[in-house]
Amino acid sequence: MYKATIGLEIHFESKTNSKMFCNCPNEENNSLDEAPNINTCPVCMGHPGVLPVINKEAIDKLIKTGLALNCKIAEHTKFDRKNYFYPDLPKGYQISQFDMPICYGGYLDFALDDGSMKRVRITRIHMEEDTAKSYHMDDGATLVDFNRSGVPLMELVTEPDMHTGEEARRFAQELQLLLKCLDVSNADMEKGQMRCEVNISINTEDDDELGTKVEIKNLNSFKTVEKSIEYETKRQAEALNNGEKIIQETRGWHDNKEATFSQRNKEDAYEYRYFPEPDLPPLEITEERVEKIRSGLPELPSDKRKRFKEEYGIDLKTIEFFVYEPELADYFEKTATELRSWADETRETTITDEEYANIIKLCTNYILTDLQSIIKSDEEIKNVDNNFAFLSKRITPENFAEFICLIANNKITSKIAKIVLPEMYSKGKDPSQIIEDNDLMPIADDSELLTIVNTVIENNPKPASDYRGGKQNSIAFLIGQVMAASKGKADPKKAAEVLKRELEK
């Protein structure tokens, strides 16, 4: 039985205003969509005699990323030249970091699909610059766009701590979530803002020595990270079973064939001739700078999961929803605070923990279902920067809390709630006002309900006599008739009680 050993190398572009070593705008992570070769200057075009200047914002974002990934931060570090020739590299070398990365020795904890936890150690994260983009045209020509040339790029290398495609996929997903939470990168894999490379070797369970390492490049989605590992594990196992040797090589991923293919082997490997970048001074990072960045770290996804479980006792699936929707999570938390005071006020007593837990559950259910679907069908909210601010203007957390309390206290039925919530969203009014304006008050008067019930029995003699004859099911039809006659304002439970009482008379 063979076992795969997997390490990842992940590149992600930094969300800075300008490029790594010049003042050109960084369009990659600022959602600018510019014409080709607009954001260029002599520095990022590699003209002779120009001098690079280190982008402080990019270094700060790397330190922030390292701290969130439990890394140590180097006090003394430097940049190096990585020499190779390619049309998308105007200088003939890339400024990178060879033996002294800024961040090293960290780890990331994450959950697998079955909920079990996994830790992967992080060897290093270093700073470098991105290359230009090549476009291979149908007529055989290749066009180069230098807008991306010199964009700050972080490279993260893990220890070979993973053994399945699922573990590698989940690591990459959790990393992306963290990068977005830190606001250091948009990390969109489809846009190439985050790129994964897999190192994989296989050996038998009892073999201490690792097998020959194969690299898989050009993986542009989480799914292909997982699939390529599964494919490669199988391919290498079959080769070994047939007595073949695994060649150390770089392989690409063919999306349509769902297979890896050989790109180049070890003999063609580049010799990068790294040496210290002579145009940049060594980089010193003070403890003060690191501590300032540490104190500005936001709540990380792992901390949020823990806190949401402890504070609100909500289920894991709902917690995961909020971790991936931080703005709706903010909205939920504001509402939760309001809920406690609303619940206390309307009951004129402090609610118990159990009551609070139930009302929180009702609240999260409404956020995940009804509120979500209202938001999803609104074209306007798609173009706003902050969903939380936008939503709070339409339905304030206070009004949403009142709405939840009205349902919890049986003041409105879930049927009426379905009318009230969209009205609140479109008119920006509080739920009591909506109920009054639209005459949606529930039937409080028992005599009014009794009149409706008797009319329904009178108009439906067949189901009524069926029920009297022992056919219990026909009560459901009659309840439906009462709800319709009351325009949804009757309490279905109460309607059933009164119906039964009247029918059994």
**Closer CB to Zn ion, 52 or 442, in the complex:** 52
Quick note: the x/- pattern for Zn ion over 349-378, rule CB under 5 A, is ------------------------------
**Closer CB to Zn ion, 58 or 246, in the complex:** 58
Which two structure tokens, joined as six digits, stand for 190? 């489809």
| Minimum distance of Zn ion from residue 60's CB (angstroms) | 20
| Minimum distance of Zn ion from residue 42's CB (angstroms) | 7
Query: If we measure between CA atoms, which residue out of 47, 76, 48, 61 comes closest to residue 18?
Result: 61
**Closer CB to Zn ion, 24 or 367, in the complex:** 24
Map the footprint of Zn ion across residues 75-114, applying CB under 5 A.
Answer: none
Quick note: the x/- pattern for Zn ion over 141-180, rule CB under 5 A, is ----------------------------------------
**Closer CB to Zn ion, 37 or 220, in the complex:** 37
Map the footprint of Zn ion across residues 11-40, applying CB under 5 A.
Answer: 22, 24
| Minimum distance of Zn ion from residue 43's CB (angstroms) | 5
Number of neighbouring beta carbons within 10 Å of residue 294: 13
E strand residue ranges, 161-205: 194-204
Quick note: the x/- pattern for Zn ion over 49-78, rule CB under 5 A, is ------------------------------
| Minimum distance of Zn ion from residue 25's CB (angstroms) | 9
**Closer CB to Zn ion, 50 or 357, in the complex:** 50
**Closer CB to Zn ion, 44 or 490, in the complex:** 44
Residue linked to tokens 């929707």: 325
- DSSP 8-state code for residue 276: E
CA distances from 112 to 8, 124, 166, 294, 460 (A): 17, 23, 7, 28, 56
22 DSSP β-pair partners: none
| Minimum distance of Zn ion from residue 92's CB (angstroms) | 17
Rounded to whole angstroms, the Cα distance separating 495 from 501 reads 10
| Minimum distance of Zn ion from residue 333's CB (angstroms) | 42
Q: Is 41 a binder of Zn ion (CB under 5 A)?
A: yes
Query: If we measure between CA atoms, which residue out of 296, 295, 376 comes closest to residue 328?
Result: 376
Rounded to whole angstroms, the Cα distance separating 224 from 226 reads 5
Rounded to whole angstroms, the Cα distance separating 359 from 403 reads 11
Stretch that binds Zn ion, among 43-51, 244-252, 306-314, 462-470 (CB under 5 A): 43-51
Number of neighbouring beta carbons within 10 Å of residue 69: 20
| Minimum distance of Zn ion from residue 28's CB (angstroms) | 13
Selected from 8, 10, 20, 44, the binder of Zn ion by CB under 5 A is: 44
Rounded to whole angstroms, the Cα distance separating 277 from 169 reads 35
Q: Residues binding Zn ion: what is the number (CB under 5 A)?
A: 5
**Closer CB to Zn ion, 52 or 463, in the complex:** 52
**Closer CB to Zn ion, 41 or 362, in the complex:** 41
Length of the chain measured in residues:
505
**Closer CB to Zn ion, 152 or 326, in the complex:** 152
Among the residues of 348-471, which ranges form H helices?
A: 353-366, 372-376, 387-394, 397-408, 414-427, 431-437, 446-459, 461-468
| Minimum distance of Zn ion from residue 23's CB (angstroms) | 7
CA distances from 308 to 171, 175, 302 (A): 22, 20, 10
| Minimum distance of Zn ion from residue 30's CB (angstroms) | 15
Using CB atoms within 10 A of its CB, is residue 81 exposed (0-12), middle (13-18) or buried (19+)? Answer: buried
* Contact status, residue 25 vs residue 190, Cβ threshold 8 Å: no
Binding site for Zn ion (CB under 5 A): 22, 24, 41, 43-44
